[in-house]
Amino acid sequence: MTFSEYGKKTVICARCQSKDVRRRMTKVRIAKSDASRIESAAGDFSGMEGIENDPQALARMMRKMGNEMGEDLPSEFNDVVGRLEAGQSPEEIESALPDLGMDTTNED
């Protein structure tokens, strides 16, 4: 039943035909723009000075940002976050994965 029908249309239980029914609200999903998702997530990370020295905290922040984006992220993202969660520093990851973030397509 739509909101405009509520209170105007008689409701009967589809299963038992009872008129003694209660209103049940379903989950509502709100679409957010990329900018509002990033802004929302950024607010969660205020006061995280020195995060670059805490790989696990950086990994948590990256996972949360990835989830906020609501998009499929490349497998490299999960690899980097997994390495951070294991305690590797960004510098160690960068030296272990030198081609990370490089476009490997040929533009000739």
pLDDT of residue 48: 64
Share of the chain above pLDDT 90, in %: 11
Mean pLDDT of the chain: 78
pTM of the model: 0.49
Residue keyed to tokens 């990851």: 93
CB-count burial class (<10 Å; 0-12, 13-18, 19+) for 55: buried
- Give the separation between CA 46 and CA 61, rounded to whole angstroms: 11
Identify the H or E element spanning 81.
helix 75-85
Quick check: 27 pLDDT over 80? no
Quick one: average pLDDT of 18-23? 84
Quick check: 16 pLDDT over 90? yes
Under DSSP, the state recorded for 28 is -
Under DSSP, the state recorded for 105 is S
